[in-house]
Structure 1
Amino acid sequence: MLYQRIKQTLFSSVPRLCALCGLPLASGEYDWCGTCLSYFQPTPRCTRCGLQMPFSTPQCGRCLKSPPLWNHLYCLGDYAYPLTQMIHQIKYGRQFWHIDSLAALLAKSIPSPAPLLLPVPMHWQRYLHRGFNQSTLLTHSLSRHLGVACQTRLLQRIRSTPPQEGLHKTERENNLMQAFTLRSLPPVRHVAIVDDVVTTGSTVSQLCQLLLEVGVEYIDIYCLCRTPEYHNQ
């Protein structure tokens, strides 16, 4: 509530600019100008794995043959411009104001949100170095826009691992073995794991396995970007 009042006060006292191009917003535009908003138009995807498809489908051929551990994946788009630029600005430029704008867009694409959101946890050593967990910040914003609860400490990363960037799928899976644990049991059977980028799905798969083992029955993945399959080879 206080956040929204502060935001409204700032908007009324300074010119409103597009979060992407920086040009003034027209009357009725919010966060994005009409031109930049077109970058975030939905594209046909497999609802299960989240990969882009020629047409929308509940499950692609790969998911029918070897389904992921989660049930649905919702994202804003592929790991490409302008999302790559904005995520880089958040993670390395500390431009945290982008998170709420992106969360608002992502929330619109989720028809039946999970009652509980869980961010992908960060190891404490990485957290001390960076000072924040972008997945936790995104979870808080999504929780507000979707009107559901979140628990940011239920999942815990107990082993510090090398960065996943540059690793192939098998290397990513091996890198994350026994890296996570549960601090407590989830109070519901339907949860959503929140992250900024899903690449091969290795990280969220490890978390799904933990949750399924303690009785969670339905798991969604909410992320800003889904890396195209050709990048995952």
Structure 2
Amino acid sequence: MVAHWLKKYTTDLLPPHCEVCQLEVGQSADFSWLCEHCQRYITEVKRCSRCGLPMETQMEVCGKCLVEPPTWQRVFCVGDYQQPISGYVHRLKYERQFWQGAKLASLLVPRIQKPAELLTSVPLHWKRQWYRGFNQSELIALSLAKSLNRPYNNLFKRTRATSPQQGKDRAQRMRNLHDAFRLIQPVNVKHVAIVDDVLTTGSTVQHLCKLLLEAGVETVDIYCICRTPEPTS
């Protein structure tokens, strides 16, 4: 107890250091736990507003989304699935470091200028949530809702366990998720944001979007920490 108190007291007296590289965090840093150098890795880049993938041009929407737009309206993310952000996601998800959810949410908040009326999250099957002890997407969503001053509601239930999406082509991914979710709460707003830790293929959130649109929601956005490229079929 005394050793823990002494460590905390002395740490508070010392200048803050970056959690990634251990360099001193300058006063101009936007976040007290990342130095200016490491913050370069989360600098916002030009992305397609619909799919969230990086773009080289200044167009708002990429060519693929112009031809075949997703069911959601916009994707807001911190960056690609790479260090240092991927490390924080991993520690939250697999090392039970619950406090990382608030840190990750703080990186995303400045990029959301007009928040949705209601936030929800991608559900886990009850067996996986029981084994893990929590839903990482829900933890991030709760922190986002608090910072954005918006309500959070658990709108979905995963009705059956599904096999991993990795290694499946588009058709197989869609079949794997067929009837895997249902809406468990009425939705009385027109604009909803679905929160997930990592958006890869988009197959899961696509199913959730359809449920919301069928329930009368007009606009669905995706709030995620990392956006990874969709694997080729």
Is TM (by shorter chain) over 0.5? yes
**What's 2:100 paired with?**
98
Cα distance change, pair 149–124 in 1 and its aligned pair in 2 (3 A)? same
Identity %: 46
- Cα distance in structure 2, aligned partners of 1:182 and 1:217: 16
Number of residue-to-residue matches in the alignment: 223
The alpha carbon displacement at 1:226 in A equals 0.9
CA deviation map 1:8-55 (0-9, x unaligned): x99846763323234443335422111111110011110011111103
What SS is found at the alignment partner of 1:160?
coil
Query: After alignment, is 209-218 or 160-169 more displaced?
Result: 160-169
The alignment status of 1:111 with 2:142, answered yes or no, reads: no
The answer to whether the 8 Å contact 1:19/1:98 transfers is no
- Cα distance in structure 2, aligned partners of 1:164 and 1:59: 26
Query: After alignment, is 21-30 or 79-88 more displaced?
Result: 21-30
2:89 to 61, 67, 87: 87
What SS is found at the alignment partner of 2:61?
coil
- Cα distance in structure 2, aligned partners of 1:145 and 1:10: 29
Cα distance change, pair 13–132 in 1 and its aligned pair in 2 (3 A)? farther
**What's 1:54 paired with?**
56
Cα distance change, pair 18–57 in 1 and its aligned pair in 2 (3 A)? same
Query: After alignment, is 53-62 or 218-227 more displaced?
Result: 53-62
**What's 2:140 paired with?**
138
**What's 1:37 paired with?**
39
Structure 2: runs of 5+ lacking an equivalent: 1-8
Compute the TM-score of the two structures, normalised by the length of structure 2.
0.89
Q: Which amino acid aligns with 1:135?
A: S
**What's 2:184 paired with?**
183
What SS is found at the alignment partner of 2:187?
coil
- Cα distance in structure 1, aligned partners of 2:126 and 2:15: 39
Larger Rg: 2
**What's 1:167 paired with?**
168
Q: Which amino acid aligns with 1:181?
A: R
The alpha carbon displacement at 1:121 in A equals 0.6
- Cα distance in structure 2, aligned partners of 1:166 and 1:91: 21
Compute the TM-score of the two structures, normalised by the length of structure 1.
0.89
CA deviation map 1:168-189 (0-9, x unaligned): 3322211110000011211211
Structure 1: runs of 5+ lacking an equivalent: 1-8
Q: Which amino acid aligns with 1:44?
A: K
The alpha carbon displacement at 1:56 in A equals 3.8
**What's 2:69 paired with?**
67
Q: Which amino acid aligns with 2:171?
A: T
The alignment status of 1:213 with 2:214, answered yes or no, reads: yes
- Cα distance in structure 2, aligned partners of 1:56 and 1:98: 33
The answer to whether the 8 Å contact 1:46/1:56 transfers is no
- Cα distance in structure 2, aligned partners of 1:150 and 1:106: 16
- Cα distance in structure 2, aligned partners of 1:63 and 1:42: 20
Cα distance change, pair 218–11 in 1 and its aligned pair in 2 (3 A)? farther
Cα distance change, pair 15–206 in 1 and its aligned pair in 2 (3 A)? same
Cα distance change, pair 232–17 in 1 and its aligned pair in 2 (3 A)? farther
CA-atom RMSD, angstroms?
Answer: 2.0
Q: Which amino acid aligns with 2:132?
A: R
The answer to whether the 8 Å contact 1:189/1:218 transfers is yes
**What's 2:20 paired with?**
20
- Cα distance in structure 2, aligned partners of 1:34 and 1:65: 39
The answer to whether the 8 Å contact 2:199/2:227 transfers is yes
The alpha carbon displacement at 1:164 in A equals 2.2
Q: Which amino acid aligns with 2:27?
A: S
The alpha carbon displacement at 1:190 in A equals 0.3
The answer to whether the 8 Å contact 2:74/2:221 transfers is yes
